[in-house]
Amino acid sequence: MGTTQQYNFDYIVIGSGFGGSVSALRLAQKGYRVGVLEKGKEWKTADFPKTSWNIKKNLWLPLLGCYGYQMITFFKHVLIFHGGGVGGGSLVYANQLLKPPDEVFESRDWCINNAKKVLMPHYETARKMLGATLSPQVGKADLLLKEVGIEMTGKDTFHKNDVGIFFGEPDKKVPDPYFNGKGPDRTGCTFCGACMIGCPVGAKNTLDKNYLYLAKGLGTKIIPETHVTSVRQMYGGYEVVTRKTTGFFKKETVYSARGVIFSGGVLGTVELLSKCKDEGLLPDISDELGNFVRTNSEALIGVKSNDKTTNWNDQIAITSGIYPDDTTHIEIVRLNKGSDTLFNLLTIMADGGGKLPRWVRFLGNVIKHPLRFIKLLWPMGKAASISILLVMQTDKNHLKLKYKPRWWRFGNKSINSEIPQGFERSPSYIPVANETARRLAKKMDGIPMSSFPEVILNMSTTAHILGGCCMGDSSKTGVVSNKGELFNYPNLYVADGSVVSANLGVNPSLTITALSEYIMSAIPNKH
């Protein structure tokens, strides 16, 4: 296979989330033949379930025949919420398009000189492509959070967030408002709150309505329900081995390309690269693979209101946020009424820290408030009364992901988390988060809540896993160069959240998009 035409594609993109979608469009615009391999299913607006109780459509549990878009992964030290399907995390993300604080770009871990100056033009491109606009409204819980922020800091740090939603006129369809008529028709937001369950009107600017839509118009082939099992070198290019993810018979198909873009998110990319390194297919991948995996220093906690007269689902998923201290950003998150399933991970609040194990404190609180604990176990109606607090920090802490045999997989290998020696681990308890929740609970006539994994298992919780394929000056210090290319493997790139080299302290979707724009900008046009 000596010539480009003998490959199935010039570039294969593994994954169709923020990084994969950017890669698909920009490579197609440069004249390359592009194929996108996506593990999950392709979703249309009419396909989404009305609530999260439709487990078969909502959750990704292939062993049970569930092929939804909401994925949940338990590791030893962290519980991770992530998304899959054509459009990746954009199917379940909360529409947030925020730039990190300036100090984030000052970290040497980026390995990009003048990182802020270099990346800002790509942030602006990403904002335009994703349709960033200021949230036009805020909810009742948001205004109470604003009061809490003022009480805690003595100043007003409350701000509306930029979001990726077409507002227009509610429920009114109009011709493409973003790409001079080259994009799909769009329908105005109805403020139903179902952003993370699957927008039922098509107002959410998911990637299938911008990057992927335009890439398909340039000839990009998107192949859903296809899991990549290995990547290996061949004849100056690469072979990508896949199998079908749905159905009883898992058919294997092999594709070839001159280059490959790994965009499967942290969990997909780190595991696939680890497998290729371990099996000798790509043996010279840096030993730094899996190091410096970050949770965005997050906590997911909540407040359950006893006020049944107030509609707490009155807005889009997230509208705004506060800064209760210099490194912490907190947002109210809501789901539509009836989407209760994930709220069942919340329970009575318990603090950490000190010599007494957190699970002991939790049991003490259960003994003190048995009726409250029992009531919180009722699984229905929670989305209508619970406001989630998404807490994110720029603090320096991390985990690592290690690929090795697992007893529960009968000796087969997979990745799992470990605590890095000599470094601060990603937190499972954030004091300012609990303080904020308690203050908000008083204003909402409610109960502050922690998550079961935090209080019982001392696990971090995150919706934004980052790192694991960090940039470096060489393979001794990083997995990829400051252009996103794997050391020792020409035309193998990583463009997803695994190249993010810091806790951002804000929702990372805009940063992942901007970084991917930056990485793709260095690939020359096809000759």
Rounded to whole angstroms, the Cα distance separating 243 from 506 reads 35
E strand or H helix at 442, and its extent? helix 431-443
**The dihedral of CA 122, 93, 456, 290: what is its sign?**
negative
The phi, psi pair for 153, rounded to 5°, reads -115, -15
- Long-range contact set of residues 371-374: C-beta below 8 Å, sequence gap at least 24: 372/348, 372/447, 373/347, 373/348
Radius of gyration of the chain (CA): 22
Rounded to whole angstroms, the Cα distance separating 47 from 41 reads 11
- How far is residue 55 CA from its own chain's centroid? 20
**297: DSSP letter:** T
E strand or H helix at 314, and its extent? none
Concatenated DSSP letters of 324-373:
EETTEEEEEE---TT--GGGGGEEE-----SSS-HHHHHHHHHHH-HHHH
**Can you tell me which residue has the tokens 């999950």?**
40
From residue 332, alpha-carbon distances to 141, 225, 300, 427, 455 in Å are 7, 33, 10, 20, 21
For residue 473, with 0-12 CB atoms within 10 Å meaning exposed, 13-18 middle and 19 or more buried, which class applies?
A: exposed
- How far is residue 50 CA from its own chain's centroid? 22
SS3 322: strand
**Can you tell me which residue has the tokens 């009155």?**
314
E strand or H helix at 270, and its extent? helix 265-278
Longest Cα separation, the chain: 73
- Residues acting as catalytic residues: 464
Rounded to whole angstroms, the Cα distance separating 322 from 87 reads 29
